[in-house]
Structure 1
Amino acid sequence: MASGVKVADGVKDVLTTMKLNRNADDASDRIRVVELGLNDAKTEIEVKQVVMEKDFQRLGNVFKYIQSLMGEKECKYIIYDCHYETPQTKKEDLIFIMWICDCASPKHRMVYSSSKSALKTILDVKYQFEMHGRDEITCSSFCSKIKDKIVRLEGEDVDAL
Structure 2
Amino acid sequence: MSSASGVQADPACLEAFQQLKLGKKLKYIVYKLSDDQKSIVVEKQAETATYDEFLKHLPENDCRWAVYDFDYSTADGDRNKIVFYTWAPDGAKIKSKMLYSSSKDALRRSLNGVAVEVQGTDADEVDHETVLEKVLRR
What CA deviation, in whole Å up to 9, does each residue of 1:46-88 have, x standing for no partner? 01112002xx4xxxxx111122122211110111111111233
* TM-score (norm: length of structure 2): 0.89
Contact 1:77/1:96, CA 8 A, preserved across alignment: yes
Bigger radius of gyration among the two: 1
1:142 to 125, 131, 136: 131
Per the TM alignment, residue 143 of structure 1 is displaced from its structure 2 partner at its CA by: 1.6
2:121 matched to which residue of 1? 132
1:78-157 map, 5 Å: 78-124=66-112, 125-148=114-137
- Output the amino acid matched with 1:91: R
Residue 152 of structure 1 aligns with which residue? none
Q: What TM-score, normalized by structure 1, do the two folds share?
A: 0.77
The corresponding residue for 1:155 is none
Structure 2 SS opposite 1:135: helix
- Structure 2 residues without counterparts, runs of 5 or longer: none
Identity fraction in percent: 25
Q: For the aligned residues, what is the CA RMSD?
A: 1.8
Moved over 3 A (4+): none
Which one of the candidate residues 34, 39, 62 is aligned to 2:34?
39
Aligned counterpart in structure 2 of residue 16 of structure 1, from 18, 32, 51: 18
Q: Distance in 1 between matches of 2:75 and 2:19?
A: 30
Give distance in 1, aligned partners of 2:55 and 2:12. Answer: 24
Q: CA deviation at 1:9?
A: 0.9
Contact 1:6 1:45 in 2 (8 A): yes
More helix by share: 1
